[in-house]
Every structure is written in C-alpha cells, then in structure tokens.
Amino acid sequence: MKKIVLFDMDGTLTPPRQSLSQDLIKPLRNLSHYSDIGVVTGSDIDYLRQQLKFLLSHSDIRYKLHLLPCNGTKYYKPPGYNHEKHELIYSQNMKEKIGKKSFSRLMKILIDYQNHISSHFEIPLTGHFISYRESTINWCPIGRNASIKEREDFINFDIGFAQGQFRTIVIEQLKEEFKNINLNISIKLGGDTSFDIYPKGWDKTYALNHFKGYSMWFLGDRCYEGGNDEEIYKALLPKNSFSVENPVQTQDVIEKIIIPLFSKG
C-alpha cells in the first residue's frame, strides 16, 4: 500500500510565515524514499511557494511532494518531469457552497469585528486584514503585512488578554453569532495571529479525500481543541498522528519514529 505523510506548515515544517527549516531537508529527502509527502495548510498556494521555495525549485523531493492549500480544498499534484511544475487539479469554492447571500453576510460580520477591534484595542494594524482564498477566508486582525516584531507584539497581547486568550474569546462570540443566523460556518485559530473560516466539514480532514487507498500519517502543531489541526489529528489516531511544537520536534519524529518504522517494510 502506498504511504503518505502529511504535514502542517507553520509551526510544524517552518517557523510561522518563514522559510522551511534547512535542518529538515535531509530528513524529508530520506522520508521520500519510503513515502509520498503532503503539506496541508490553511494558507493559499502563494505562501506555500514562498515558504517551501527550495523544495519546489531545487530538490528532488518535489516529485513526491503534494501541495494541499486551503485545508486541502485545493490540490496541486507533484510534477512528473524536471520541466513541469505542480499542477492544480482540484479546487472548491466557498461562495458557491454557502451561497452569495450568506457569504456577503459573513463578510459584513468580519468587517464589523475588524472595525471594532481596530477601534478599541491597541494592536498593530498593517493592512490586508481579510483574505478570501476561494475555499476559505483568513482573517488577521493585525493584517497579513505584519512584520515579525508586529506579530510578536500581537501574540503577547493575545495570550496576555485579561479575560483569557483574545482570539479564543472572539471565536466563541462569532460561533454564537453564526449559529443565531444559521450560517453553517467553522472558525478556527489560524497560525499565531489569524482565524481560518470555512464551510463546516472543510477542515484539514478534507485533504484525506485525495489519498484513497493510501496509508496516511499526519504531523501538526495545533492538534488541541480549537486548533486548525485538531480534526485531522484525531482522524488518524491512535498510531498515525503526532502533535509537535516546532520543526525541531518534527525532525525528531521523522528520524526516530517514522523512517525506522517504514524502513522495516
């Protein structure tokens, strides 16, 4: 049976919004001798290309590397030859799924919340707050243009908020609002600074649909309740899921657990 090891990106393969840890190149290459590799992330393809640039342009790993942006509601298959690039072969559309009226209502709610947060809290504001990715929405209260320092400032604000983690409180408020107006929408913590918003059922377990007949494994850093790796992590328990905290732990799991297991046949 074919094998595939699926990885979250930010916090698992890469530091948040940064390039792939170079220490992971060799372990991933060794893993590719035994298994296909997939990267499933809430981010869209542009961030995958930025953060995994070396793998996509200079490494033979690319021929075994499946790209699954927007929780796998988009799927780019690996190239077969040197002159080819990853090809989009599957894509979903959130606006079509929930309807234009519901989509417009959702966007208005997010804009209202962004205006409220911007007016009442001292946080960095950098622009590009709401990003529609066709199959998901990413909402970042400080803006996707934030520097590393501005991200760190917001993270400290988020976890140090007097009533509990700021983003968790916002999620609970929005869940209640969605429920009251019958919006069939999920909202999760996205990375360290944002929220991922999508139709219910379009969490990262969606990526598993592309690999029928495979033995599947998963590594992610947000596998806890409310994290955007929660559902896929639970779906592949008890033996095929690993919760990690950073790329260093990811390397350990690849080298000390997965490769020794796969090498035994």
User: Catalytic: 8?
Assistant: yes
User: Catalytic: 10?
Assistant: yes
Residue ranges and CATH numbers for the domains of the chain are: 3-92+203-263 (3.40.50.1000), 94-199 (3.30.1240.20)
> Between vectors from CA 258 to CA 253 and to CA 260, what angle results, nearest 5°?
115
What pLDDT, on the 0 to 100 scale, is given for residue 265?
Answer: 67
Q: Return the bridge partners of 147, or none.
A: none
Q: 10, 36, 192, 229: which is the annotated catalytic residue?
A: 10
What pLDDT, on the 0 to 100 scale, is given for residue 69?
Answer: 95
The residue among 241, 240, 212 whose CA lies nearest residue 2 is 212
> Between vectors from CA 134 to CA 142 and to CA 40, what angle results, nearest 5°?
80
What pLDDT, on the 0 to 100 scale, is given for residue 22?
Answer: 86
What pLDDT, on the 0 to 100 scale, is given for residue 17?
Answer: 82
Q: What is the mean pLDDT of each run of 10 residues along the chain (265 residues)?
A: 96 91 93 97 93 90 96 96 93 94 96 96 94 93 94 92 86 92 90 91 96 96 90 95 96 97 86
Q: 8, 36, 44, 196: which is the annotated catalytic residue?
A: 8
